[in-house]
Chains A and B, each alone.
Chain A
Amino acid sequence: MAKFQLKINGKQLSVDVDPSTPLLWVLRDHLHLVGTKYGCGAGACGACTVHLNGNALRSCQLPVSAVGTQAITTIEGIATSETEMHPVQKAWLELDVAQCGYCQTGQIMSAVALLKRNPNPTEAEIEAAMTGNICRCGTYIRIKAAIQKAAKSTTK
């Protein structure tokens, strides 16, 4: 066990866990931020996607000891304000993207990171950036449309 100070969604939080514990389980088991989902535990499905310094990352593959002082953002921390959702979340709702919803927080985290580094992606760039996020309900068509919609709403 070791103590770690983590910067998550703008807050300093401390946990006492085994240093090898993946960030995913620190978020879920110890900090009760369960919006980040467990899918495969092998970095192959994207359900556990969070941001490390703004970049999308599979939290099941990152030991908590490797986080250091880098800023972590989870789905609970991406809204524009307490009353206003992120443009990507809004687009998701407008196009009714989700079905069961299990993978969608990971999808949204990948989409937000994509639009941050590339505000106006081509279709091919969207596909390349989102290819690691798997959806068993098959909502891919609406995911792509929602990213295009969010891109338009923010680049106007």
Chain B
Amino acid sequence: MLNPMQNPETSSRENPARKFSTRAKKKPRPSPGKSLATIPVQAPTANSVSHLTREQIDAIGRELDALRARVVADLGDRDARHIRGVVSVARSAAIAGRTLLMFGFTPVSFGLGVIALSTAKILENMEIGHNVMHGQYDWMNDPTLDSRTYEWDNVCDASQWRHYHNYEHHTFTNVLGKDRDVGYGLIRVSEQQYWHPRHLFQPFSNVLLALLFQWGVGVHDMDPVRHLAGGGDAEEFGRKWKQFKSKAARQLFKDYVLFPLLAPWNAPRVFLGNLAANTVRNVWTNVVIFCGHFPDGTRVFTEQEVAGETRGDWYLRQMLGSANIEGGSWFHVMTGHLSHQIEHHLFPDIPAHRYPEIAVRVKALCETYAIPYNTGSFWQQYGSVLGRIVRLALPSQEPPPAAKMA
């Protein structure tokens, strides 16, 4: 009864347009699908779970709900220690990195400084920022770890992130035309997206997107592509643009004015070191995030498919649309545990360091019900993403049936 797609009691059913808005008063958005050339066609047969009966899907929903309840009941000191520990490491790494850049003179200290500062930014953005803003630590009642007020160290305004990531992406995961994270409107990552000549350049635009990833994330909620095409709510765009400008200005000031000025004798070195650290963070987050939903074997969905979804259906979609990366515990922390994308999508508001232990149960469940569980090494998964980006730069050999008809 808590599913927005089937609950007759929610006002979103009375006024479907309200689903797109965080404030009830805002004007409805037109569907972004058309402008992004992602008009959905029928589901592929690969990775289908059509063998599951309605009763089985309901049972899966109940089992996962029970798993969630068990973990929530167990939250406590261990989780608090984990997140505070990561906060300490991130702060120490930031201090070490900035100190090395400001007071060092050799290339070695420059390299170490960049590594330390990149590590700090990656930890802060991923294991802390992303996870805190999901509400994973709200139960602690610690104002510094409050999902509603947390602000992170990159150019994306946290409130905009909370809207498009927590709501759009996590509710409508991999639904073409609704989840704008499918290829970020730039890159064709599924045969089911229409091909456009600009996709020819996507092996290059992908590299560019990776290098500048925080800027992509920063403007994503504004949907500038649609705005430039004349779509969307101009007033809303204006409000978000202001927020973005103010956040970006503070970030640029910090890394490229304030810290270089604090070490005037080393200003160019600090400037370059900060640029390098931001870039390393950009590329790493981009790579990890692309491994989450775009490796071979992950599915996209059509709006028709997800209409009338039950809780069990929703869980299934999260599992079929996400992919994991295997690695050690520090690797998982450095990805913000997005290497456990499947578990993250099932339980986005459970403290992420719990995902490895949850994964054992999820994997067993997938085996029981013969549900594909997409996991692989880092190079396997990212290699498969790159392969897809190159392959889909060209029109698909067999266009989907609906595309033929169109």
Q: Do A and B come from one complex?
A: no
Where the two chains meet, the residues of A that have a C-beta atom closer than 8 Å to any C-beta of B are none
